[in-house]
């Protein structure tokens, strides 16, 4: 990739798992009442036709990985499992009170933290508790994040028994120097065992998460990690740029110095090398930072233009309503976002009061909804159009002016009522989305809120 383009466009910018992005939520006008109203409206509009999604946050980990920016609680005390599951089921019960009919669950994802911190029987109790008052949609997709070091056959079997068919394993990098720096020691043999066991049980999609731009990581490290990954041939891959935001995430990302991290140009070279090696063996790039084999649902959704992006990342189908359960989870009603409190004790206290533990959020206005559609189109399909009336907004001329230089750099094509991101511009799709981000244009943050785009 052209070095001058990297230098030019490597700026801080959102990853656009939502619009508006979290720092631009209008928390002052947000309330629990308007959040629940938006959920009820969305549910009534969409449950019968497409079902809903659930994201359940499982916050506990036995050790701290210093690359991680997720909300977690480090403990080796497993007596925390049952109270947490009881709380999540109580929260789900409060949402059920909002609905006039049984929810049809299309997608469910267990994230963390480390979901496999929990005993298999406790995970099964959680899912059975969720499903007893719901309907499982035809063609549902239930998935979870597994830690290769502690995901056992019993974990995989228990979740398979309640409908899970997809698992993703956090690999990050196989080099021991890098693993020590990020405090994530896991031999290739553990990933191999966890991957093969899932397939033996019957999981139809096994994913691996790999990160480039980690401390001390070299081109050789990335190459060896990709080559080992090819041996196991996961159905899909998330190949992420490490987001270094220690000013937001606190001490967890201070386990190494900034000078230990690869520079922007080397990071992009690492990605291009990984992409080349993956493409050579049949993987297809999906949106931003994702790859999948043609047999995987993520690739098929890209082909039939049903690919969606939300706080769970890229998903193979869109549901208008996504309920977030558990500490720090974010729900999405399409018309609004609501995030739960981040401290477990606060989460428990609010549920004891029979209150949904939502503490902040944003209700989208008409302009927000239009911009959200454009950014989703760009992130999922690398193109968008304002030919239809519901896609038009007053600032389109100003947006196109901002994109003119990117067109001169051959990153995109501008037509009379549409734009299309060119292959050369796909690594800069976040920058292109930023031109549409009216809230970002109106108020540039005084401090750095986002990771770098390259």
Please tell me the distance from the alpha carbon of residue 18 to that of residue 37, in angstroms, as a whole number.
20
Q: Which H or E element spans position 430?
A: helix 429-436
Q: Is 55 annotated as a binding residue?
A: yes
Measure the N-to-C terminal CA separation of the chain; round to a whole number of Å. 11
Q: Is 184 annotated as a binding residue?
A: yes
Q: Is 84 annotated as a binding residue?
A: no
Backbone angles phi, psi at 320, to 5 degrees: -65, -35
What are the angstrom distances between the C-alpha of 417 and each of 128, 227, 408, 428? 49, 43, 18, 21
Q: Is 209 annotated as a binding residue?
A: yes
Q: Is 186 annotated as a binding residue?
A: no
Please tell me the distance from the alpha carbon of residue 236 to that of residue 229, in angstroms, as a whole number.
11
Q: Is 67 annotated as a binding residue?
A: yes
Q: Is 414 annotated as a binding residue?
A: no
Q: Is 172 annotated as a binding residue?
A: yes
Looking up tokens 């896609």 gives 391
Q: Is 112 annotated as a binding residue?
A: yes
Tally of CA atoms within 13 A in the half-sphere of 361 that contains its CB: 30
Q: How many CB atoms lie within 10 A of CB 216?
A: 17
Please tell me the distance from the alpha carbon of residue 208 to that of residue 195, in angstroms, as a whole number.
9
CA 202, distance to chain mean position in Å, is 25
Please tell me the distance from the alpha carbon of residue 88 to that of residue 106, in angstroms, as a whole number.
19
Q: Is 212 annotated as a binding residue?
A: no
Please, are residues 261 and 242 in contact by the beta-carbon 8 Å criterion? yes
Q: Is 113 annotated as a binding residue?
A: yes
Please give the radius of gyration of the chain, using alpha carbons only, rounded to the nearest integer.
21
Please tell me the distance from the alpha carbon of residue 453 to that of residue 437, in angstroms, as a whole number.
15
Residue list for the binding site for [4Fe-4S] cluster: 61, 65, 68
Binding residues: 55, 61, 65, 67-69, 112-114, 145, 172, 184, 209, 243, 330
Annotated binding site for S-adenosyl-L-methionine, which residues? 55, 67-69, 112-114, 145, 172, 184, 209, 243, 330
């Amino acid at each position: 990739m052209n070095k001058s383009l990297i230098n030019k466009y490597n700026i801080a910018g959102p990853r656009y798992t939502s619009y508006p992005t979290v720092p631009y939520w209008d928390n002052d006008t947000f309330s629990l009442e308007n959040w629940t109203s938006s959920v009820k409206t969305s549910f009534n509009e969409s449950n019968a036709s497409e079902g809903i999604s659930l994201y359940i946050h499982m916050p506990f980990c036995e050790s701290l990985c210093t690359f991680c920016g997720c909300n977690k609680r480090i403990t080796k005390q497993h007596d925390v499992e049952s109270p947490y599951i009881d709380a999540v089921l109580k929260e789900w019960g409060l949402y059920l009170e909002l609905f006039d009919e049984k929810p049809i669950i299309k997608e469910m994802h267990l994230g963390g933290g480390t979901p496999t911190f929990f005993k298999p029987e406790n995970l099964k109790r959680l899912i059975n508790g969720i499903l007893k008052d719901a309907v499982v949609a035809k063609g549902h997709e239930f998935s979870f994040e597994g830690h290769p070091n502690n995901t056992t056959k019993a974990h995989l079997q228990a979740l398979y028994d309640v409908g899970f068919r997809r698992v993703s394993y956090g690999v990050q990098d196989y080099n021991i120097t890098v693993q020590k720096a990020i405090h994530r020691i896991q031999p290739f043999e553990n990933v191999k065992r966890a991957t093969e066991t899932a397939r033996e049980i019957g999981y139809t999609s096994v994913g691996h998460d790999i990160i480039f731009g980690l401390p001390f990581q070299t081109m050789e490290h990335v190459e060896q990690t990709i080559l080992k990954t090819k041996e196991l041939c996961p159905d899909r891959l998330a190949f992420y740029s490490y987001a270094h935001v220690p000013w937001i995430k606190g001490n967890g990302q201070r386990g190494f110095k900034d000078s230990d991290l690869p520079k922007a140009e080397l990071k992009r070279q690492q990605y291009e090398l990984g992409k080349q090696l993956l493409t050579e063996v049949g993987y297809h790039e999906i949106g931003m930072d994702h790859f999948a084999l043609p047999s995987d649902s993520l690739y098929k959704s890209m082909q039939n233009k049903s690919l969606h992006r939300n706080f769970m990342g890229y998903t193979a189908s869109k549901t208008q309503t996504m309920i977030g359960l558990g500490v720090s989870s974010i729900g999405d009603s399409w018309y609004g976002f609501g995030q739960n409190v981040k401290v477990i004790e606060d989460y428990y206290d609010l549920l004891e009061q029979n209150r949904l533990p939502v503490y902040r959020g944003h209700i989208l206005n008409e302009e927000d909804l239009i911009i959200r559609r454009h950014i989703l189109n760009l992130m999922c399909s690398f193109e968008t159009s304002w030919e239809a009336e519901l896609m038009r907004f007053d600032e389109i001329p100003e947006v196109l002016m901002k994109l003119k230089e990117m067109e001169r750099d051959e990153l995109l094509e501008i037509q009379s009522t549409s734009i299309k991101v060119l292959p050369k511009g796909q690594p800069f799709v976040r920058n292109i989305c930023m031109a549409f981000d009216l809230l970002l244009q109106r108020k540039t943050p005084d401090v750095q809120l986002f990771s770098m785009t390259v």
